[in-house]
């Protein structure tokens, strides 16, 4: 019997009392600062998210995976940590919302893997109260509190008051108020690829991060089981080529989705509808992930070659899987945030319009003959259609009906973002002509 192998790695779960405290900024700053010191850094995002991981990948220089005890599952979370620990000196896990928010929460993830928490505190409107806040975060669960990053600190004196209030909890680092904040829009941060100076911003954050070197050097390591690797997938999509839309209009997909398709044996062919590229001729199936079609509606509306190719593929019976932004681009029309209405591909009868309020949010699961395909929803648009849904997802944890799944010929379309690794057999069926 072979003894399991382990690695002792510095692992921190970065969390806060609520959203808006600066978790992503702090995680990006720490990642970039450590990379500039020559350390190998891997970053994960806790919970469903597409945009924060793009920024964190840019900051760390390595792909950012998803850790979520429900959507991803304990076994796959463990295997991802094992793979990261093989090639990392430091692993950072950015939490979701507040430390104890959600079911499961970021605190649940930290406790499941014995990972200490680094709390980010927006100190812009407080001083000594920061200590009370962090002690409450530690003791409520409880969780192991490794220390604190104080964000938006005004001065050295301000930092000193915060440090004194922490008592037995270290103040690991401080960040000053930022003159140039990372820009946001309705679905979150602006895509890093849209910012010409993104690396300058990240370097500035790293330079402004004031570490307490003594406290950082005292941080304990976490033991990671290196043998907790995933089992290989059955090649259910062997010799199949899947076209994947990938550009600024279709940018929201989990890296694990592409890894799952490849693990199932598929070859991936990327193309850009926004650049008016037709579906690659070798494709056996089409994947249209989510993104920002509402920001590029005029260009998509005029992309004649793209629209003609998807209409022809649908008429020929090619399996087409469209998620959220993909659904929007295949409707009859799309009304953008300014109210302008643009003709889309017209495969899904109906009309999509942007709205000011969230139309869908939260973790959901889709029951299939192969098991439950898990994922989430997050969108500001709504579809008006006379099509009768083939099925609905179930919201987690309530079980209430969630997003509609529409089936129009070979097209499967929904606002539901599936995490493919949660049920690879169901994914293989989605991209197969039999659909079974």
Q: Would residue 261 count as lying in a domain?
A: yes
Provide CB contacts within 8 A for 229, sequence distance 6+.
Answer: 79, 82, 83
Interval 125-147: pLDDT, tens: 999 999 999 999 999 999 999 99
Domain-located, residue 235: no
**In whole angstroms, how far apart are CA 29 and each of 57, 97, 151, 201, 210?**
12, 19, 11, 10, 10
Read off the pLDDT band of 434 (50, 70, 90).
Answer: confident
Same domain? 61 vs 189 = yes
pLDDT of res. 359: 87
Task: State whether 58 and 186 are in the same domain.
Answer: yes
The yes-or-no verdict on residue 215 having pLDDT over 90 is yes
How many angstroms separate the CA atoms of 422 and 376, rounded?
Answer: 12
Beta strands in 75-170 (DSSP E): 90-94, 117-122, 145-153
Going 357 to 362 to 366 to 367, the CA torsion angle's sign is negative
Which has the higher per-residue pLDDT, 3 or 176? 176
Cβ distance 320 to 310 under 8 Å? yes
Which residues face 10 on adjacent strands? 90
**Is residue 1 included in any domain, yes or no?**
no
* Per-residue DSSP letter, 115: P
Is pLDDT at 407 greater than 70 in this prediction?
yes
Is residue 65 one of the residues assigned to a domain?
yes
Which residue, chain included where needed, has tokens 């509609």?
404
Residue 161 and residue 301 share a domain: no
Report the pLDDT value the prediction gives residue 195, as an integer from 0 to 100. Answer: 72
Q: Which domain-ending residue is among 196, 225, 254?
A: 225
Shared domain for 162 and 20, answered yes or no, is: yes
Mean per-residue pLDDT for 220-237?
94
Contact 274, 295 (CB under 8 A): no
Evaluate whether residue 280 is within a structural domain.
Answer: yes
The pLDDT, as a whole number, for residue 3 is: 59
| pTM as predicted | 0.94
In the chain, the percentage of residues whose pLDDT exceeds 90 is 89
213/343 Cα distance (integer angstroms): 57
Within this chain, do residues 268 and 376 fall inside the same structural domain, yes or no? yes
Instruction: Say whether both 191 and 247 belong to one domain.
Output: no
- Across the range 71-77, mean pLDDT stands at 96
153/101 same-domain check: yes
Q: Check pLDDT > 60 for residue 396.
A: yes
CB 300 within 8 A of CB 273: yes
Cα distances (angstroms) measured from residue 351 to each of 369, 383, 417: 31, 6, 20
- Could you tell me the pLDDT band of residue 2, with boundaries at 50, 70 and 90? low
Q: Which of 179, 194, 225 is the last residue of a domain?
A: 225
* Structural domain contains residue 231: no
Measured between alpha carbons, how far is 204 from 317 in angstroms, rounded to an integer? 51
Provide the residue count of the chain.
436
Residue 363 structural domain: 241-430
CATH number, residue 257: 3.40.50.880
Please check whether residues 221 and 245 belong to one and the same domain. no
pLDDT at residue 95 in the model: 97
- Asked if 280 and 162 sit in the same domain, the reply is no
So what's the pLDDT on residue 183?
62
The pLDDT value given to residue 372: 98
Helices 23-36 and 51-60, axial angle in degrees (round to 10): 20
The one catalytic residue among 46, 77, 324, 423: 324
Q: What is the mean pLDDT of residues 297-318?
A: 98
**Strands annotated E in 40-185:** 41-46, 65-67, 90-94, 117-122, 145-153, 171-176, 184-185
Total structural domains within the chain:
2
| Structural domain contains residue 252 | yes
**Euclidean distance between CA atoms 31 and 278, whole angstroms:** 38
What percent of the chain lies above the pLDDT cut of 70? 95
- Is pLDDT above 80 for 306? yes
Tell whether 190 and 262 lie within a shared domain: no
With a CB cutoff of 8 Å and minimum separation 6, the contacts of 346 are: 307, 311, 330, 331, 332
pLDDT in tens, 173-203: 999 988 766 666 555 556 766 777 889 999 9
Q: Which residue has the tokens 């779960």?
A: 13
Q: What is the pLDDT of residues 350-381, one digit of tens each?
A: 999 999 888 889 999 999 999 999 999 999 99
Average pLDDT over the chain reads: 94
Q: Is 412 found in the same domain as 286?
A: yes
- Residue 68 in any domain: the answer is yes
Active site residue 77: no
| Residue 38 neighbours by CB distance under 10 Å | 7
Q: Residue 196: count other Cβ atoms within 10 Å of its Cβ.
A: 7
Looking at the structure, tell me whether residues 328 and 426 fall in a common domain: yes
């Amino acid at each position: 019997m072979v003894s399991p192998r382990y690695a002792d790695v510095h692992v921190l779960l970065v969390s806060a009392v609520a959203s808006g405290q600066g978790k992503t900024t702090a995680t990006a700053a720490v990642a970039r600062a450590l990379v500039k010191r020559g350390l190998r850094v891997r970053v994960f995002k806790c919970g469903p998210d597409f945009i924060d991981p793009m920024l964190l990948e840019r900051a760390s220089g390595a792909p950012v995976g998803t850790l979520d005890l429900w959507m991803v599952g304990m076994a796959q979370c463990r295997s991802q940590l094992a793979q990261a620990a093989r090639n990392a000196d430091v692993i950072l896990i950015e939490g979701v919302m507040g430390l104890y928010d959600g079911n499961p929460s970021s605190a649940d993830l930290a406790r499941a893997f014995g990972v200490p928490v680094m709390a980010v505190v927006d100190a812009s409107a407080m001083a000594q109260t920061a200590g009370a806040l962090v002690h409450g975060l530690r003791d409520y669960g409880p969780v192991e509190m490794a220390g604190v990053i104080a964000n938006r600190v005004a001065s050295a004196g301000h930092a000193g008051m915060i440090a004194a209030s922490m008592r037995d909890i270290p103040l690991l680092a401080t960040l000053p108020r930022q003159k140039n904040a990372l820009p946001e829009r309705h679905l979150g941060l602006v895509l890093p690829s849209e910012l010409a100076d993104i690396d300058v911003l990240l370097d500035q954050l790293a330079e402004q991060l004031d570490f307490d070197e003594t406290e950082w050097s005292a941080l304990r390591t976490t033991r990671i089981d290196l043998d907790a690797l995933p089992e290989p997938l059955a090649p259910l999509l062997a010799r199949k080529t899947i076209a994947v839309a990938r550009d600024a209009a279709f940018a929201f997909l989990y890296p694990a989705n592409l890894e799952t398709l490849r693990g199932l044996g598929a070859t991936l062919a990327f193309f850009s509808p926004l650049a008016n590229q037709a579906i690659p001729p070798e494709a056996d199936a089409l994947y249209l992930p989510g993104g920002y079609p509402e920001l590029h509606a005029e260009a998509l509306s005029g992309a004649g070659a793209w629209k003609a190719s998807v209409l022809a593929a649908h008429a020929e019976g090619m399996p087409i899987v469209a998620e959220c932004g993909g659904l929007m681009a295949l409707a009859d029309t799309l009304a953008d945030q300014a109210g302008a209405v643009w003709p889309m591909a017209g495969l899904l009868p109906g009309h999509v319009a942007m709205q000011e309020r969230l139309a869908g949010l939260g973790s959901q699961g889709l029951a299939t003959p192969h098991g439950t395909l898990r994922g989430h929803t997050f969108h500001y648009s709504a579809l008006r259609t006379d099509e009768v849904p083939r099925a609905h997802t179930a919201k987690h944890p309530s079980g209430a009906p969630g997003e509609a799944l529409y089936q129009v010929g070979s097209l499967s379309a929904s606002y539901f973002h599936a995490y493919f690794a949660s049920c690879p057999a169901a994914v293989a069926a989605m991209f197969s002509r039999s659909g079974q």
